[in-house]
Structure formats: structure tokens, C-alpha cells
Amino acid sequence: MDAFKQNEMSHTLAVYNFKGGVGKTSTTLSLAHSWARSFKVLVIDCDPQANLTQALTSQEHSTNLFTITKKFLHNEQPSIQPVEIHPYLYLIPGDYRMAEIESNTQFISFGHIIFYKLLSAIRHNYDFIILDFPTHFGVTVKSFIANINSILIPATAGSFSISGFKKLLSYLSDVDKDKPLEILGIFFNQYRKNTLYHQKVVREAEQELGSLILDQRIRESIRVSEANGRNESVYAFTDQSAVAEDFLKLSEEVISRLNRINLNEAISSVAEQEAKG
């Protein structure tokens, strides 16, 4: 992690796949807890379902992503005070009303400017800002993508397809951005190493997509749901479970991949593979 520290800049990444139930929220939580051992981390719950918020805090908070967005929409300066989970980990809670605001015409036109203002106001306070995205590729997701550095893509062997991944890249490339989005890569979650079908899917994905696939996989483990349900991290179990070890290694691998592959490079590498047949 020292290589990152030397950079001394904050990095904003989203955990995203337009498929539901692939582990976006569980990954956000685990990365956040793991990086918060060495860095100052903020997580933003962008999903109206607010699963991340429920996993981190059982209290109601008057300031959340919706109340902040609404103030910006009314040209007021919101006070942005993330909830302190512990001295290295902070949260901007989610709110179900983020679903309604998606049809607000001002938000549709200016969402990217609002989130630019939001991130500019707080970025300097954190080493990492991690966004837990909803599944829906709507205004919230697009407006944040316009302003972040990178995305990390969780996938499950059961639902992964190269064509789905290509579609995701093409959606992402429709978002106007000053600097190309970095693709940190895809990793397989809920992986069962003894299931032949899982082995086959991952082997084929690695052949087709090469360096876009992270080495670390996250095994399937009941500990993930247990931790979420208990408002704890997977690292909190005293027996240091194997899945916690997987997530810890993933968090290190992600850092080692910062500033490496951008979206245009990812799209051409997929096209090259296809041409090779």
C-alpha cells in the first residue's frame, strides 16, 4: 500500500455492475474496512435501497445523499458532514428518495455538476472515496461516473458473460468525461472452486479478457451475509475467516492496479481478442 501513499492524492472509485446481487455492496463494505486500516476512507451509498447504510449504522441520519443533492438542486450550499463510523471510516448515507429524484429534470440536466461540487467539497479529506452504486444505470450512476477515477466490477461465475461485459463497457463509454474512466478490472465473487462450471467460466473469461480479470476471487461464504446482518465487517469474526482473507487480498490487488487500464484501452483489448477469434 506504500506505493499509493507516496502519491498522496485521493482516489474515487465505484463498485459497479448492472447486474444485481453480484456483491457490489458487500465489496464496498469489505474494501472500506480493509483500506480504513491504513487510509482515511469515505463511502457513499448511492443506492436507494440503502443496504450499505443499513450495514454500517442502525441510526437515522438527517443528512444523506438525497438531502445533499436536493440542496444543490435548490442552489443552496449544503453542509456535508459524513457520519463517522470510526476515525478512519466515514459514510454519506443513502436514501430511498434517490429513486424519485432520477426523474427530476434539473437533476437529469445538472446531476454531473452537482456531484462534481459534492466530490470537490470533500475529496481532500479522504484517501479513498468508494461509491456503492445501484444496479440501475440511471442518472445517479451516470452523473457520478462523470466525476470519478475508476470502477471495479464484481461478477459471479453464474451470471457472467463476455457480451454482458462488453455491453457494460459500452454503457460506460457513453458518459462524457474529461479524463477516461479507469477500469480496475473484474473479479469473481461467490466463487466455488470445486464447481466445474465456475472453473470453466473463469478460465474462459481469463482467456478472453486477460489482464482485465483480477487474480483474487472471493469464495462463497455465509460469513458475508452474517457480517452484513450484524452491522459488522467480515474482518470482525475472531476466527479470521477465509473469505475475510480473500477480501483483504482483493483490497491489496485493487491498489496495485490503480492508474493502469483506462476505458478506451479496455474496449480495444476486448475488440482485439474478438478479432483473434
Ligand X SMILES: Nc1ncnc2c1ncn2[C@@H]1O[C@H](COP(=O)(O)OP(=O)(O)O)[C@@H](O)[C@H]1O
Binding site for ligand X (CB under 6 A): 20-26, 51, 189-190, 218, 220-221, 224-225, 228, 243
Nearer to Mg ion, 51 or 64 (CB): 51
Q: Which region, judged by CB under 5 A, interacts with Mg ion, from 34-42, 47-55, 60-68, 156-164?
A: 47-55
For the record, the C-alpha cell of 221 comes out as 461464504
- In the complex, the smallest distance separating the C-beta of residue 90 from ligand X, rounded to whole angstroms, is 20
> CB of 246: closest distance to ligand X in angstroms?
8
Which residue of this chain has its Cβ atom nearest to Mg ion in the complex? 25
**Which one of Mg ion, ligand X, none interacts with residue 22, CB within 5 to 8 A by kind?**
ligand X
**Distance in Å, CB of 92 to Mg ion, minimum:** 15
189 binds, among ligand X, Mg ion, none (CB under 5 to 8 A by kind): ligand X
Considering the complex, state which of residue 112 and residue 219 has its C-beta at the smaller distance from ligand X: 219
From the list ligand X, Mg ion, none, pick the one residue 26 interacts with, judged by a Cβ distance below 5 to 8 Å according to partner type: ligand X
Contact partner, 221, from Mg ion, ligand X, none, Cβ < 5-8 Å per class:
ligand X
Q: How far apart are CA 254 and CA 184, in angstroms?
A: 7
Residue 250 CA to residue 271 CA, distance in Å, equals: 27
Candidates 4-12, 49-57, 100-108, 110-118; binding stretch for Mg ion (CB under 5 A): 49-57
Q: How many residues bind Mg ion, per CB under 5 A?
A: 3
Return d(Cα 116, Cα 265) in angstroms, integer.
25
- Closest CB to Mg ion among residues 82, 134: 134
What does 228 bind: ligand X, Mg ion, none (CB cut-off 5 to 8 Å by kind)?
ligand X
Interaction partner, residue 218 (Mg ion, ligand X, none; CB < 5-8 Å by kind): ligand X
Q: Which of residues 22-41 bind Mg ion (CB under 5 A)?
A: 24-25
Cβ atoms within 10 Å of 113's Cβ, excluding its own: 13
Instruction: Tell me the C-alpha distance between 100 and 7, whole Å.
Output: 39
Residues that bind Mg ion (CB under 5 A): 24-25, 51
